[in-house]
Amino acid sequence: MARRKKIYEGKAKILYEGPEPGTIVQYFKDDATAFNAQKKDVIEGKGVLNNRLSEFFMTGLNNIGVPTHFLRRLNMREQLCRSCEIIPLEVIVRNVAAGSMSKRLGIEEGTQLPRPIVEYCLKNDDLGDPLVTEEHIAAFGWASQQDMDDIVHLALRVNDFLSGVMMAVGIKLVDFKIEIGRVYEGDFQRLVVADEISPDSCRLWDIESGKHLDKDVFRRDLGSLTDAYTEVAQRLGVLPRSAGTTKPTLIN
Ligand code: UDP
| Model confidence pLDDT, tens digit, residues 176-230 | 999 999 999 888 999 999 999 999 999 999 999 999 999 999 999 999 999 999 9
Nearest CA owner, ligand 1 atom 23: 99
3-state secondary structure of 84: coil
CA–centroid distance, residue 49 to ligand 1 (Å)? 19
Nearest-atom number in ligand 1 for the CA of 36 is: 8
Nearest CA owner, ligand 1 atom 7: 201
Write out pLDDT tens, residues 168-186: 999 999 999 999 999 998 8
* Long-range pairs of 12-20 with CB within 8 A, sequence gap ≥ 24: 12/47, 12/50, 12/196, 12/200, 13/196, 18/80, 18/81, 18/83, 19/80
| Domains identified in the chain and CATH numbers | 6-84+225-236 (3.30.200.20), 85-206 (3.30.470.20)
Residue 245 clears pLDDT 90, i.e. is over it: no
Residue 249 clears pLDDT 60, i.e. is over it: no
Give the model's confidence band at 241: pLDDT under 50 very low, under 70 low, under 90 confident, else very high: confident
Q: Quick one: pLDDT at residue 248?
A: 56
CA–centroid distance, residue 201 to ligand 1 (Å)? 6
Averaged confidence pLDDT in the chain:
95
Distance (Å, whole) CA 197 – CA 87: 16
Residues framing ligand 1 (Cβ under 6 A)? 90, 92, 98-101, 129, 175-177, 201-203, 215
% of the chain exceeding 70 in pLDDT: 95
Nearest CA owner, ligand 1 atom 24: 99
Give the model's confidence band at 240: pLDDT under 50 very low, under 70 low, under 90 confident, else very high: confident
Nearest-atom number in ligand 1 for the CA of 219 is: 24
Give the model's confidence band at 3: pLDDT under 50 very low, under 70 low, under 90 confident, else very high: confident
Write out pLDDT tens, residues 17-68: 999 999 999 999 999 999 999 999 999 999 999 999 999 999 999 999 999 9
